Amino acid sequence: MCDFTSIIKPLNFGFSDRVYKNFRDVLNLSFMDRNFKLVAFGLLAFLLILLLYISFMDKREERGHLSSVVEEGLKGKAPGEENKKLLEDATKKLFELNFLTLDGKEVKLSDYKGKVVLVNFWASWCPPCKEEMPIFEKVYQKYSDKNFVILAVNMDTSEGAMKEFLEKNRYSFPIVRIKGEAGLNIPGLPTSYLVDKDGSVKKIRLGVYRELEEDLSKLLQ
């Protein structure tokens, strides 16, 4: 540590050694104060990062829980009461939503009765959303003539951002936006709801839906 009195004392201001000592102590105390603030700031930053990490892990656990719940349903296992309620609530709220296509036509989930429907919530700024779009396009091209429909619900706050993205990325499945308020609590993006021909949600999938074709083949049998 630099002793500031070694710099000041040779200037010979006429102070006593005691004054120089007090001056040095004050400077050293000030230096410690500055270090204390840095340490305190670092500690607070660490605690904030830790809290964010814990929150992220909780969300990830919740997402995994939701996904596994509905996968059990697809495997023929009856979901528990709590999970069953999640699926029933999702079904009810999805059918309450109104959508607008890019050309302004209003559509509802009930318009596709008798078909398997994938309702996917996405945004142009979301990397996992953009990753799964080519997967959806491939599956849609293969199964669109077999009573399968995709409703890709854009969640961008700016419609311009969506249009700019779609100008660079062409998809054959319908792109829609929610008309009015969304009564459905979407836990994150991307989130997909796979609805069977009877109008019941069979799977809630958070994250990239890589296993879509596998699940779809079971519902189209």
CATH classification (class only), 79-219 = alpha beta
Q: Comparing 1-5, 37-41, 77-81, 163-167, which segment has the lowest mean pLDDT?
A: 1-5
Distance between CA atoms of residues 168 and 215, nearest Å = 29
How high is the pLDDT of residue 69? 42
Instruction: Compute and round to an integer the Cα radius of gyration of the chain.
Output: 30
Name which of 70, 202, 191 is nearest 132 in CA terms.
Answer: 191
How high is the pLDDT of residue 77? 57
111 pLDDT exceeds 70?
Answer: yes
Average pLDDT of the residues in 59-72: 45
183 pLDDT exceeds 50?
Answer: yes
With a CB cutoff of 8 Å and minimum separation 6, the contacts of 143 are 213, 216, 220
Q: How does residue 7 score in pLDDT terms, banded at 50, 70 and 90?
A: very low
31 pLDDT exceeds 90?
Answer: no
Q: What is the largest CA-CA distance in the chain?
A: 99
Average pLDDT of the residues in 61-65: 43
Q: What is the pLDDT of residues 136-179, one digit of tens each?
A: 999 999 999 999 999 999 999 999 999 999 999 999 999 999 99
Q: Which amino acid is at 199?
A: G
**48 close to 173: Cβ distance less than 8 angstroms:** no
**70 close to 201: Cβ distance less than 8 angstroms:** yes
Average pLDDT of the residues in 181-207: 88
How high is the pLDDT of residue 24? 57
- Domain ranges, ordered by start, for the chain: 5-53, 79-219
The pTM assigned to this predicted structure is 0.67
Q: What is the pLDDT of residues 68-92, one digit of tens each?
A: 445 545 555 556 677 778 888 888 9
